[in-house]
Chain A
Amino acid sequence: MRTESIRERFGLAMLELGRRYPRVVVVTGDLMYPTQVHHFAQAYPDRFYDVGIAEQNMIGVAAGMATCGKIPFVCSYANFTALRACEQIRNDICYTNLNVKIAGLSSGLTYGVGGPTHQSYEDLATMRSMANMTVVVPADANAAEAAVFAAYEHDGPVFLRLGRGPEPVVYDRDASFTIGRACQLREGQDVSIIANGPMVYEALSAAEHLEKAGIDCRVYDMHTLKPLDLDSLRSAGLETNLIVTVEEHYIIGGLGSAVLEGLNELGVSTPVMRIGIPDLFPIIGPTNELRAHYGLCADNIVRNVKAALSSI
């Protein structure tokens, strides 16, 4: 298994974005190094703004620049954007439908040892609930890079949910990435596993294990949480007997919720099992230990799929 750092690739992608497109500006809140946009800052100092530890101001400043034709990329942590500056994102960016991109790093349990103030499992629920917002959750470093460029191409607010350290590589560097279109990464007739972010890798590993047990799983990377790819969801629902969602987010309000809402809208009643962080403030620990603790790992997906299949 090859891994690559999400934030390092993000930082390099931002540098390249700056080189290509002069309207791109970067705004951060004392997280230039942690989000790796120091590359951008060094290359384009006049298009780089570090407003200090002041997230609400950071969002407002980005919104103001967008009204004047700039394309701001706000680079910070998931919790300090989606939660700390939630209302500024809603009013200043989404309400006005401004062309601001928000990169929320260290999401989920990727800063697991920091504790709940630095973990982030409500960000998708808040960002997804806002009208005009597009929400993207890339699976690996290659997808993160592709998502940066896709976010630039997209006209309107985008929340880009990113991790932190090294994650397993799922995609080739030139894999295509289209906002709003899920990637089906594996064929299968029995079960559909729908995942996003780093859980895509776990879903693929689980599908391999399940194959050995004679269970045929397909895997979707639902990298765009909003707007949800209803066509893929319909296929999953109609062509397999069980849908399992896996996400590094609360079980409330994220991918599992979106899938249930989508199926309801489609009138498809395939059983759904949701795997995510339960309704509590998690303990701390290194990311992978913590993911395993809350069942965000291939082993637990396998266990749950077997259990669910035996009960339907």
Chain B
Amino acid sequence: MQNPGNKESLIRFIEQKAREIRIDIVKMTAKAGSGHPGGSLSAADIVATLYFGEVLRVKPDEPDWPDRDRFVLSKGHAAPVLYSALAGRGFFPADWLDTLRQLGSPLQGHPDCKKVPGVEVSTGSLGQGLSMAVGMALAGRLDQKDYNVWVLLGDGECQEGQIWEAAMAASHYKLDNLIAIVDHNGLQIDGRVRDVMSIDPIDDKFRAFGWHVFRVDGHRVDILLDVFQQALDIKGKPAVVVADTVKGKGVSFMEGEKDWHGKAPNPGQLEEALKQLQAV
């Protein structure tokens, strides 16, 4: 990975990587003919900041490095955003991306940790990632390691009871090596989260569960870089970054549209999407 000198150029670098990730997302899902572009695009800036902003300490040539930071994609349907970042960091060859969802491909609709280097745990059934992240954080403390555990949740996913069981455990155990990020894009499959089953006020809920809460614009890479550092500095309790995002971000006709949750662009839509993403 190239090492940009100052913060300004780091930010430009991450933004460029986020653009490349978005391009991969629309290309991959278009080629596959199915997949989840909306929730992948909303998370692109978050994932780019983690993987290309020197936030996650990982070694692509040694994916099982015991001291690595862990990243759990609890909202596993956003697999394309993770696959693109992992390929971009060299965990596996970029041409794997062309095989998304094909017979026998390691790149499944939902990520499989036994098949893809860099994927920590297999996810896809929502609501389960935070618990596994709690386990990793507890083990890190037990082993006196200084790694951190990051977990990305969907806002609809926060309707799962298990999220709150895990949230309770994380603060009970004072897991300051655990940072959750909520991709707060306001949409789930059946409509707006607030109409289907409101999770509001999400900040207060996490606060009541003993977490330190940050609320930020999830598409501002400069802000994400800062807030991730601040989250790492919180001691004695877990931190959550509620990141306000737009589902489908970067492709005008996908932005804020629930119908782009789980649908691939057709060739014409792909062309239009690429035109928009490449113009930025």
A56 within 8 A of partner (CB): yes
Kindly specify which of B53-61, B97-105, B177-185, B205-213 makes contact with the partner chain.
B97-105
Kindly specify which of A188-196, A271-279, A285-293 makes contact with the partner chain.
A285-293
User: Across the two chains, which residue of chain A brings its CB closest to B156?
Assistant: A53
Q: A57-B161, A289-B103 are in contact. Are A117 and B197 (CB under 8 A)?
A: no
Partner of A286, one of B76, B103, B157: B103
A51 within 8 A of partner (CB): yes
- Interface majority SS on B: helix, strand, loop or mixed? loop
Distance A53 CA – B75 CA, assembled complex (angstroms):
12
Chain B residues 184-211 with CB under 8 Å of chain A are 188-190, 193, 196-197
Kindly specify which of A29-37, A92-100, A131-139 makes contact with the partner chain.
A29-37
Q: A52-B188, A113-B32 are in contact. Are A283 and B103 (CB under 8 A)?
A: yes
For A104-140 the 0/1 string (1 means CB < 8 A from B) is 0000000101111110000000000000000000000
Task: Pick from A52, A84, A289 the residue with the most CB of B within 10 Å.
Answer: A52
Task: Pick from A53, A116, A117 the residue with the most CB of B within 10 Å.
Answer: A53
B269 within 8 A of partner (CB): no
Chain B residues 18-32 with CB under 8 Å of chain A are 32
Q: A53-B188, A115-B108 are in contact. Are A30 and B122 (CB under 8 A)?
A: no
Partner of A118, one of B105, B110, B111: B110
**Residues on A with beta carbons closer than 8 Å to the beta carbon of B90:** none
B124 near A114 (CB under 8 angstroms)? yes
A53 near B127 (CB under 8 angstroms)? yes
B244 within 8 A of partner (CB): no
Task: Pick from B104, B105, B125 the residue with the most CB of A within 10 Å.
Answer: B125
Partner of A113, one of B101, B123, B127: B101
B109 within 8 A of partner (CB): yes
A238 within 8 A of partner (CB): no
A81 within 8 A of partner (CB): no
B159 within 8 A of partner (CB): yes
**Residues on B with beta carbons closer than 8 Å to the beta carbon of A84:** 125
Distance A284 CA – B262 CA, assembled complex (angstroms):
17
**Residues on A with beta carbons closer than 8 Å to the beta carbon of B108:** 113-115, 284
User: Across the two chains, which residue of chain B brings its CB closest to A31?
Assistant: B189
Q: How large is the interface on A (under 10, 10 to 19, 20 to 34, 35 or more residues)?
A: 20 to 34
User: Across the two chains, which residue of chain A brings its CB closest to B102?
Assistant: A285
Q: How far is the CB of B192 from chain A (nearest CB, A)?
A: 11
Chain A residues 278-308 with CB under 8 Å of chain B are 283-286, 289-290, 293
B125 near A80 (CB under 8 angstroms)? yes
B159 near A284 (CB under 8 angstroms)? no
A114 near B156 (CB under 8 angstroms)? no
Chain B residues 59-105 with CB under 8 Å of chain A are 76, 101-105
B44 within 8 A of partner (CB): no
Q: How many A-B residue pairs have CB under 8 A?
A: 92
Q: How far is the CB of A73 from chain B (nearest CB, A)?
A: 16
A43 within 8 A of partner (CB): no
For A42-70 the 0/1 string (1 means CB < 8 A from B) is 00000000111110110000000000000
Distance A54 CA – B105 CA, assembled complex (angstroms):
30
B196 near A33 (CB under 8 angstroms)? no
Distance A114 CA – B262 CA, assembled complex (angstroms):
11
User: Across the two chains, which residue of chain B brings its CB closest to A54?
Assistant: B159
Q: A57-B161, A84-B125 are in contact. Are A50 and B109 (CB under 8 A)?
A: no
A224 within 8 A of partner (CB): no
**Residues on A with beta carbons closer than 8 Å to the beta carbon of B188:** 30, 52-53
Q: How far is the CB of B131 from chain A (nearest CB, A)?
A: 14
Task: Pick from A32, A56, A284, A289 the residue with the most CB of B within 10 Å.
Answer: A284
Distance A115 CA – B113 CA, assembled complex (angstroms):
12
B134 within 8 A of partner (CB): no
A245 within 8 A of partner (CB): no
Distance A59 CA – B105 CA, assembled complex (angstroms):
34
**Residues on B with beta carbons closer than 8 Å to the beta carbon of A56:** 161
Partner of B196, one of A52, A283, A285: A52
A31 near B190 (CB under 8 angstroms)? yes
For A2-33 the 0/1 string (1 means CB < 8 A from B) is 00000000000000000000000000101111
B272 within 8 A of partner (CB): no
**Residues on A with beta carbons closer than 8 Å to the beta carbon of B103:** 283-286, 289-290, 293
Distance A32 CA – B161 CA, assembled complex (angstroms):
20
A32 near B109 (CB under 8 angstroms)? no
Given known contacts A33-B190, A114-B109, what 12 new A-B pairs fall within 8 Å (CB)? Answer: A30-B159, A31-B190, A34-B262, A54-B160, A113-B32, A114-B124, A115-B108, A115-B110, A118-B110, A118-B124, A283-B104, A293-B104
> Which 6 interchain pairs have the tightest Cβ spacing?
A52-B197, A117-B124, A285-B103, A115-B108, A52-B159, A113-B101
Chain B interface residues (CB < 8 Å from chain A):
32, 34, 76, 101-105, 108-112, 122-127, 156-157, 159-161, 188-190, 193, 196-197, 262
12 contacts between A and B (CB under 8 A): A30-B188, A30-B196, A31-B190, A33-B190, A52-B156, A52-B197, A113-B32, A114-B110, A114-B124, A115-B108, A117-B123, A293-B103
